[in-house]
């Protein structure tokens, strides 16, 4: 199971007939909406719910149209399947706001500017194809990082989660949002160069063509887009999976005119917690597209067998399987052997399969699985195991220990090594030329459902760097910390514990650090659920810079914005600037809607 936020999704495709808007008065809507919410939704959206769905106070900051879209065609569609149109409307209007703050004309750049194609960049999840997340052209150093100051802040209207992976190219920084908006912002000023709307939220980073003219991105409805980097105009659009809960969270990789995209799932989360949901039928896959046309070249499911009816649950709901084994991080490219490496997640329902919680190698030309190595067998799990009525929980439930951290490929003596982390708190060094055989393994944290190593690591020539989750909602001081592991041996070089959170007493405060890290020469940057963005010396682990994002910001686009918990895809660095989102609406961490840019000169 991914540790992604359980959020209400957004869409632009909300066409509301006028007659429905007048179906009843405001009071009637509120009464019916409250009744539907209290009957159907409150158990998931209450304080202490195991689903960690957003609390009502967070939902009330969202436009009602976005909530309606989620009920009609988004992640909540299965939960709301028994409601009629009027009931969906009522609960959406009961929860959401009437209007979304608009974007002022002054937020857009006043003068055109050509792409600076030779400028330092951060693309494809961090500069290179091997996922090192190391920036050689950072324009920063261990001496200058302590001088970083906020240069500008950009507010996202109508959302409570900021989780898009920043991409820097051509003097611009591009970032997706939870409502499907994609912004291309001027790197120096934050003014909007263009704005594009995807069909769903955009969490993954963007990939840029070698000539810089085309940008590729994917959304949480499993659509992939090619757009013009300079203008945002759509060149082509391709849907990768018809399952309504198929998503893309890993950044696509572009190699020799082919775009490789991991397809993951949201099926094992909230919907599987509903005893009436027929769990589960979605299988993770890797897809190759022609980068010029979007035509699908091949698609390979991690589980080759199609799901079939297995029987019925204790409440009479159909059980389906096999399912799951989703790759939800960006794949690693082995150009020497023309292979893609990706980690996979749990099975959602029995039977267990051989490539769940595994490292899998795909042939880049044919899509064939060349090898797979499983690091934890029989891990079958879904959100039904967290509910009072556990109808969808597997009979022999697993421990939910996905491999979501992208492996990093490095040379090792005369051979090579893949280094990656797992939610169980382990870091592995494995041999890619011996089908993932373990060279060394090192425990760096206790791990668990919300623990261990979750979103992403970084590496230089000597060490790999990880931030630790070990999030415990009942203990805000638990978890967190940053660790450096020697690539050749697995030895822990240093481990710096998380500082005591300054936000103690604030609902959702936590020391946990599940987000991806970013690396420059001499400094590793890590985010935290307590709202802090920090820099650590790579030689010693000493913290040399700390910025608290848990505050209100004056934004360059005039939108009210506040920082919150920082989770997911991590910061980006290029051209003397550091970029990061802040805010996460998972219950009980802290929502927010801001995108931040830092530089030594500040504003």
Q: What pTM was estimated for this model as a whole?
A: 0.88
Question: 24 with 132, same domain?
Answer: no
CA 464 to chain centre: 21
Q: What is the pLDDT of residue 9?
A: 32
Name the token pair of 243: 């399952």
Look at residue 12 and tell me if it is in a domain: no
The predicted pLDDT at position 126 comes to: 86
Is 51 found in the same domain as 199?
no
Distance between CA atoms of 325 and 285, rounded to whole angstroms? 8
Are residue 427 and residue 351 in the same domain, yes or no? yes
Give the H/E segment covering residue 91: helix 85-95
- The yes-or-no verdict on residue 564 having pLDDT over 60 is yes
List pLDDT tens digits, range 330-385.
999 999 999 999 999 999 999 999 999 999 999 999 999 999 999 999 999 999 99
Asked if the structure places residue 525 within a domain, the reply is yes
Q: Is there a single domain that holds both residue 42 and residue 145?
A: no
Do 74 and 183 have their domain in common? no
pLDDT category of residue 21 using cuts at 50, 70 and 90: very low
Q: Residue 315 pLDDT > 90, yes or no?
A: yes
Please check whether residues 49 and 150 belong to one and the same domain: no
| Contact in structure between 454 and 441 (CB atoms under 8 Å) | no
Q: Tell me the pLDDT of the chain averaged across its residues.
A: 90
Is there a domain that residue 3 lies in? no
Is residue 184 in a domain? Answer: yes
- 75 and 175 housed in the same domain: no
Number of domains in the chain: 2
| pLDDT tens, residue by residue, 185-234 | 999 999 999 999 999 999 999 999 999 999 999 999 999 999 999 999 99
Pairing type for strands 134-135 and 518-520 reads: parallel
223-261: buried (b, 16+ CB within 10 Å) or exposed (e) per residue? bbbbbebbebeebbebebbebbbbbbbbbbbbbeebbbb
- Please check whether residue 542 lies inside any domain of the structure: yes
User: Can you give the pLDDT at residue 37?
Assistant: 73
What number is the average pLDDT over the span 249-265?
Answer: 97
Q: Which two tokens stand for residue 10?
A: 């957004």
**178 shares its domain with 214:** yes
Average of per-residue pLDDT across 413-436: 97
When pLDDT is averaged across residues 294-318 and rounded to a whole number, the result is 97
Confidence of residue 451 (pLDDT cuts 50, 70, 90): confident
Of 126-130, 424-428, 561-565, minimum mean pLDDT range: 126-130
Our measurement of the distance from residue 168's CA atom to the centroid of its chain's CA atoms, rounded to an integer in Å, reads 18
**Inside any domain, residue 63:** yes
Asked if 577 and 595 touch (Cβ cutoff 8 Å), the reply is: no
pLDDT in tens, 571-603: 999 999 999 999 998 767 899 999 999 999 987
**Count of CB atoms within 10 A of residue 477's CB?**
16
With respect to residue 88, please indicate whether it lies within any of the assigned structural domains.
yes
Residue 422 lies in a domain: yes
Burial of 182 (0-12, 13-18, 19+ CB in 10 A): buried
* Candidate from 26-40, 105-119, 240-254, 411-425 with smallest mean pLDDT: 26-40
> Could you tell me the residue range of the domain that residue 250 belongs to?
105-599
User: pLDDT at position 247, please?
Assistant: 96
- pLDDT one-digit tens code per residue, 37-90: 777 777 677 776 666 677 777 666 666 666 766 676 666 766 776 777 667 767
- Shared-domain flag, residues 417 and 391: yes
Domain end residue (candidates: 37, 72, 95): 95
Shared domain for 395 and 279, answered yes or no, is yes
Q: Tell me the average pLDDT across 447-464.
A: 94
Report whether pLDDT(19) > 50: no
Share of the chain above pLDDT 90, in %: 77
Q: Give burial (CB, 10 Å; 0-12/13-18/19+) of 457.
A: buried
pLDDT at 430: 98
The answer to whether 21 and 72 have CB atoms below 8 angstroms apart is: no
pLDDT band per the 50, 70, 90 thresholds, residue 33 = confident
**Which pLDDT does position 75 carry in this prediction?**
66
Half-sphere exposure of 327 (CA within 13 A, CB side): 30
Task: Give the integer Cα–Cα distance in Å for 478 and 506.
Answer: 15
Phi/psi class of residue 466: alpha, beta or left (left: φ > 0; alpha: ψ in -120 to 50)? beta
- Helix or strand or coil: residue 85? helix
* CATH number reported for the structural domain that contains residue 308 in this entry: 2.140.10.10
Structure tokens at 210: 């070698």
DSSP 464-488: EEEE-----TT-TTSS--EEEEETT
**Residue 141 corresponds to which tokens in the numbers above?**
């150093």
Q: How far apart are the first and last CA of the chain?
A: 41
pLDDT at 100: 58
Last residue of a domain, one of 65, 95, 125: 95
- If asked whether residues 154 and 249 sit together in one domain, one would say yes
The whole-angstrom distance between residue 331's C-alpha and the CA centroid of its chain comes to 14
Whole-number Å distance between alpha carbons of 29 and 21: 10
Residue 180 and residue 55 share a domain: no
The residue from 95, 130, 148 where one domain ends is: 95
Structure tokens at 601: 């000169």
C-alpha–C-alpha distance, residues 25 and 261, integer Å: 46
């Amino acid at each position: 199971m991914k540790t992604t936020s359980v959020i209400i999704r957004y869409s632009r495709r909300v066409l509301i007939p006028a007659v429905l808007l007048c179906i009843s008065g405001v009071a009637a809507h509120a009464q019916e909406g409250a009744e539907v919410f209290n009957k159907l939704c409150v158990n998931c959206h209450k304080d202490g719910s195991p689903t960690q769905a957003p609390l009502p106070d967070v939902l009330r900051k969202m436009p009602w149209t976005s909530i309606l879209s989620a009920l009609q065609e988004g992640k909540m569609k299965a939960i709301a399947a028994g409601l009629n149109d009027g009931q969906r409307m009522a609960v959406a209007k009961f929860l959401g706001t009437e209007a979304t703050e608009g974007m002022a004309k002054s937020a857009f750049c006043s003068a055109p500017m050509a792409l600076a194609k030779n400028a330092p960049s951060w693309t494809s999840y961090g500069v290179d194809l091997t996922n090192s997340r190391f920036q050689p052209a950072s324009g920063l150093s261990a001496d200058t990082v302590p001088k970083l100051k906020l240069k500008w802040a950009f507010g996202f209207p109508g959302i409570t989660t900021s989780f898009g992976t920043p991409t820097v190219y051509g003097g611009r920084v591009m970032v997706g949002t939870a409502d499907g908006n994609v912004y291309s912002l001027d790197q120096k000023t934050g003014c909007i160069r263009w704005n594009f709307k995807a069909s769903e939220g955009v969490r993954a980073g963007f990939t840029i063509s070698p000539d810089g003219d085309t940008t590729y991105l994917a959304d949480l409805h499993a659509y992939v887009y090619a757009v013009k980097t300079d203008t945002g105009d759509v060149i082509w659009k391709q849907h990768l999976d018809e399952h309504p809960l198929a998503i893309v969270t890993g950044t696509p990789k572009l190699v020799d005119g082919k775009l490789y995209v991991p397809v993951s799932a949201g099926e094992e989360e909230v919907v599987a917690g509903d005893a009436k949901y027929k769990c589960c039928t979605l299988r993770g896959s890797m897809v190759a597209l022609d980068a010029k046309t979007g035509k699908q070249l091949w698609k390979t499911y991690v589980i080759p067998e199609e799901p079939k009816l297995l029987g019925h649950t204790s409440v009479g709901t159909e059980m389906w399987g096999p399912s799951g084994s989703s790759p939800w991080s960006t794949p690693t490219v082995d150009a020497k052997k023309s292979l893609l490496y990706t980690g996979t997640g749990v099975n959602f329902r029995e039977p267990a399969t051989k490539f769940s919680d595994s490292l899998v190698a795909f042939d880049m030309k044919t899509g064939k699985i060349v090898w797979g190595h499983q690091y934890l067998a029989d891990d079958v799990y879904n959100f039904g195991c967290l509910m009072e009525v556990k109808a969808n929980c597997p009979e022999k439930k697993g421990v939910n220990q996905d491999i979501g951290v992208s492996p990093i490929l490095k040379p090792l003596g005369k051979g090579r090594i893949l280094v990656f982390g797992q939610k169980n708190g382990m870091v592995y060094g494995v041999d890619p030329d011996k089908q993932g055989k373990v060279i060394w393994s090192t425990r760096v944290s206790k791990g668990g459902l919300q623990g261990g190593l979750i979103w992403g690591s970084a590496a230089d020539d000597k060490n790999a760097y990880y931030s630790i989750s070990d999030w415990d909602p009942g203990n805000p001081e638990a978890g967190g910390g940053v660790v450096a592991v020697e690539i050749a041996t697995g030895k822990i070089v240093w481990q710096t514990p998380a500082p005591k959170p300054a936000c103690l007493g604030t609902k959702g405060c936590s020391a946990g650090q599940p987000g991806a890290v970013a690396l420059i020469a001499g400094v590793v940057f890590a985010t935290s659920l307590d709202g802090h963005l920090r820099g650590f010396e790579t030689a010693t682990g000493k913290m040399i810079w700390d910025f608290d994002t848990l505050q209100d910001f004056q934004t360059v686009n005039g939108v009210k914005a506040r920082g919150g918990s920082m989770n997911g895809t991590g910061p980006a660095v290029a051209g003397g600037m550091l970029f990061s989102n802040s805010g996460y609406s998972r219950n009980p961490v802290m929502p927010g809607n801001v995108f931040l840019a830092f530089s030594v000169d500040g504003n």
